[in-house]
Structure 1
Amino acid sequence: MKSNLISVITRITIFVLVMSFASCKVLKQNESTDITSNSNNPLMVFLNCSISHDSIGQEYKMDLIDKIITEGRVKQTTVNSKTYEQDNFRYCLLNKNYQIISFSYMPNPLDKTIEYVDENGLLGKRSIRLDSTQFSLRIPLATGSEFVSFEKDNKQLLLVDLNK
């Protein structure tokens, strides 16, 4: 009876150890951020950032809150454009040598349009400029993308390393 109990405990211990090693291996594979993309499984990055504008010094400050790289495609109906418009920000995908792979423009996240109902009951719109805000951006990753750079008036505001 005693040897049977020891045999069962030994089997359970071995089973638990094998499962622990197997789950560690799976976790290790999921933790690595491999941003190589192929046509079957395109990748995209979600960037959550904060931005502020110093109205006295006329300088922008941008910080990365977090990033998520995942498989998927960005819908083609985005507001981002390849055409520059006044007050837009440019973001660029860069390779490991900091050379531009692709770029696009996004509207200034500090500019907001507020809809309201006036005293006559009519719907109106008003544009305002915020001092600071948070925003999210989805970007499809091109092969060889290592960094994302945000620029305003040819001045780099933020450089995001996609491998960290």
Structure 2
Amino acid sequence: MTASNTTAKLNGGAPFPTFNVPKVGGGTLSFGAATGRWSLLIVYRGKHCGRCKKYLGGFEQTYSQWTEAGFDIAVISADPLEKVEADIAEFGWSFPIGYDLQEEDMRKMGLFISDPLSPQETDRRFAEPGVFCIRPDGTAQIVAISNGPAARPDLAELLDGMIFTIDNDRPARGTV
């Protein structure tokens, strides 16, 4: 049995944490500042996770709908560049992807963190799944985190809900 490490969870309505990750193809992806635009951030476990690849393959099918709805998109993991580039080559993902997510930044987002089960799985700690919708002012609207790969929000349903939220100027929920 593994000892528990408590990480404070990010609340809806709270400022999204500030951090940067390198972006595949060059540059950086930056988080936590007001951008004047809505953002969708998907954190995935890494190359070793078959469910992640299936989830991101499904996201690829809705990616253009998210951008048409006015969202900036970022997908990130703790994987090194080589692993992310291998997945992009294999699966043809076209959305912006960041890599080398640091444990400190995982904790800032309140993500669950796992050690690899074996060296064959991966060579570093990794974040369990997280999906965040971030308001134009840099605060968290949706915080959906999981301690394992099988529980993640349906992205088509989330997009539908976010369009309603934006159209009706709904506040973040779960703030009490």
**TM value normalised by structure 1:** 0.23
Larger Rg, first or second structure (1 or 2):
1
Compare the two structures and name the one with the higher helix fraction.
2
Q: Select the structure with the greater relative contact order (CA < 8 A; seq sep ≥ 6).
A: 2
TM-score by length of 2: 0.22
